[in-house]
Amino acid sequence: MSVRQSLLAILDQGQCYGYQLRAEFDRRTGSTWPLNVGQIYNTLDRLERDGLVEKGDVDDQGHVYWEITPEGSAEVRAWLSSPVERAQGTRDELAIKLAVAATLPGVDVGQVIHTQRRASLTQLQELNRAKYAGANPDGPEELAWALVVDSMIFQAEAEVRWLDHTEERLKRHPQHALALELSTEKPKRGRPAKADVAVRDDAKQASR
């Protein structure tokens, strides 16, 4: 999880207390991923449980400083030197929404796509305005903010392209041909048997 690893990486630069960690995280991400203090301390508790950080000094104002352990520093190095692993499958709400909508009788999927495209284009415009209204991108904090905003812009652009692609693909199929009625087959408890999965896979291959 990037929040956990990011907080560890900040602590690898020196000890911090909770509010200080939140401020440092905001500085390095352009405040694009807001964290509350409760999340910070919950993460610190888990990191302490795992032996990656430990409590250090307490200042005159009662701030408890957290310090990284050698094991924590090793995890930071491993995180920075490893690629981000993307989970198989998707939990993207929009993809699931359109997949379900396309199989529901009587649903105008084209209108669903149109509504989403309008919202996605509005978000893209807002992101571009925010980017070009930013301060000098040569400073470290401004550069960090620009990197995150650029990522969000590319994601929004990709979403609009995917919506266009989906709309064109669905135009090739009559809506009634995609509708799925509720199955009358009673599902069995538990996961499908491996043999059943293999049969379905073979059938799919044969139909191609």
3-state secondary structure 84-139: CCCCCCCCCHHHHHHHHHHCCCCCCHHHHHHHHHHHHHHHHHHHHHHHHCCCCCCC
- So what's the pLDDT on residue 2? 84
Amino acid at 193: A
Distance CA 119, CA 115 (A): 6
- So what's the pLDDT on residue 91? 77
- So what's the pLDDT on residue 157? 96
Distance CA 188, CA 64 (A): 54
What is this structure's pTM?
A: 0.66
Q: Domain extents for the chain?
A: 2-80, 93-181
Return averaged pLDDT per consecutive 10 residues of the chain, 208 residues in all.
Answer: 89 94 88 85 96 95 96 95 78 87 86 94 91 69 85 94 93 72 75 52 50
CB atoms within 10 A of CB 107: 15
- So what's the pLDDT on residue 207? 45
For residue 126 the two structure tokens come to 């807002």
CATH code, 2-80:
1.10.10.10
Distance CA 122, CA 208 (A): 40
